[in-house]
Amino acid sequence: MTATTSSRPARGTLSVQSVRMPGSIALCCAWIAIVVTIGITARWCAPYDYTHQDPLARFARPLASLTHLLGTDYLGRDVVSNLMIATQTTLMIALIGSIVCAFIGTSLGLLSAHFGGWIDNAAMGFADAMAAVPFIIVSLSVLAFFGSSPLLFVFLVGFASWERYARLTRGLVISAKEEGYAEAARIVGVPPMRIYLRHMLPNIAGPLIVQFTVNFPEIILLESGLSFLGLGIQPPETSLGLMVADGRSYLAIAWWLAAFPGAVIVLTTLSISLLGDYLRDRLDARLL
C-alpha cells in the first residue's frame, strides 16, 4: 500500500541535469565559497585581533605594507582583520534571519492554506498590514526603544519579509492540494502533516529556494543599513554596515575604510542574486 501513496520522485523538481553552468555563475559560486570560508574561519585566520589598536600606524594606506595589507583605520586597527570578523557577523545575521523568516513565513502560509477560513483571513490580513509600513521604519523604532541587542536584531531582520514566504507557500500549497498525488495520499489516509512535509514540501521546494536567494541579500542590505544608522550591531562588535558607517567620516582622507566593506557587501549580494536568477531559470520556478 505504501507504494501507491508515495508521490512523484521525491526530489523531482530539484534534480539537476548535467548541463555546464555559465562562467559568471561559477564566479558567483566561487565568491560565495570564499566569503563563507572567511565567515567560518575568521576568528582563527584574522592576522590581528580586530580590536587591536596601533596608534603609530593610523591611516596606513592599503597595499603600502605587508603588515596591514588593506591598510588601517583611524585607531590603527587592521582593516583585513576587521573585514573578516565583520563578514562573519553579517553572514551569521543574514543566515539566521533568513532561516527565521523562511520558517515563520512557510509555517503561516501552510496554516493559512490548510485551515482556510478566519485563520487564513487573519494571517493574510497581518501580511497586508506588514506591507503597509516600510519595514525599515518599524525596525528603527523597535530597535531604538527596546534597545539594540543581537538577539532582538536577528529576529527583527528575520521578520522583515516573512509575508512573501507566506503568500508564496499558501499559493503553492493550495494548488498542490489539487494535484493527484496529494489527493491520492489523502484518500489512503496519510496524516496531513506527513502529506505536507514528506510529499508536498519537496515538490514546492523550488520556488521557496529561489525566494530564499531573493531574501538573503535583502537581509544583508537591511542589516548593513540598520548598522549604518547606528541601530544594528553595536561596537565593539563589528559588521559590514558598521564599518561603512565608520569609514563615512573619513571619506576625504581614507577612502579604503568604507570602500572595502562596501565592496564585500556588493559582491556578496550580487553573487547571491545572480545565482538565484540562474536557479530560477533552471528550476523553472516562477515567484507568485
The nearest distance, CB 204 to other proteins, in angstroms, is 21
User: Which parts of 14-53 interact with other proteins (CB under 8 A)?
Assistant: none
Q: Does 249 bind other proteins (CB under 8 A)?
A: no
Among 242, 265, 275, 285, indicate the residue that binds other proteins (CB under 8 A).
265
Specify the amino acid at residue 96.
Answer: I
Closer of 81 and 224 to other proteins (Cβ): 224
Contact indicator for 96, 73 with CB cutoff of 8 Å: no
Q: Does 141 bind other proteins (CB under 8 A)?
A: yes
Closer of 98 and 269 to other proteins (Cβ): 269
Instruction: Give whole-number Cα distances, 10 to 85, 93, 147, 196, 254, in Å.
Output: 39, 31, 45, 12, 54
**Residue span 207-226 as binding mask against other proteins, x where in contact by CB under 8 A, dash where not:** ----------x---x--xx-
Among 137, 178, 189, 236, indicate the residue that binds other proteins (CB under 8 A).
137
Size of the chain, expressed as the number of residues it contains: 288
- In the numeric block, which cell numbers belong to residue 43? 576568528
- In the numeric block, which cell numbers belong to residue 147? 534597545
Task: Write out the DSSP string of 50-102.
Answer: TT---GGGTTPPTTS-SSSTT-B-TT--BHHHHHHHHHHHHHHHHHHHHHHHH
> Would you tell me which residues interact with other proteins (CB under 8 A)?
128-129, 132-138, 140-147, 217, 221, 224-225, 228-231, 241, 244, 248, 251-252, 255, 258, 262, 265-266, 269-270, 273-274, 277
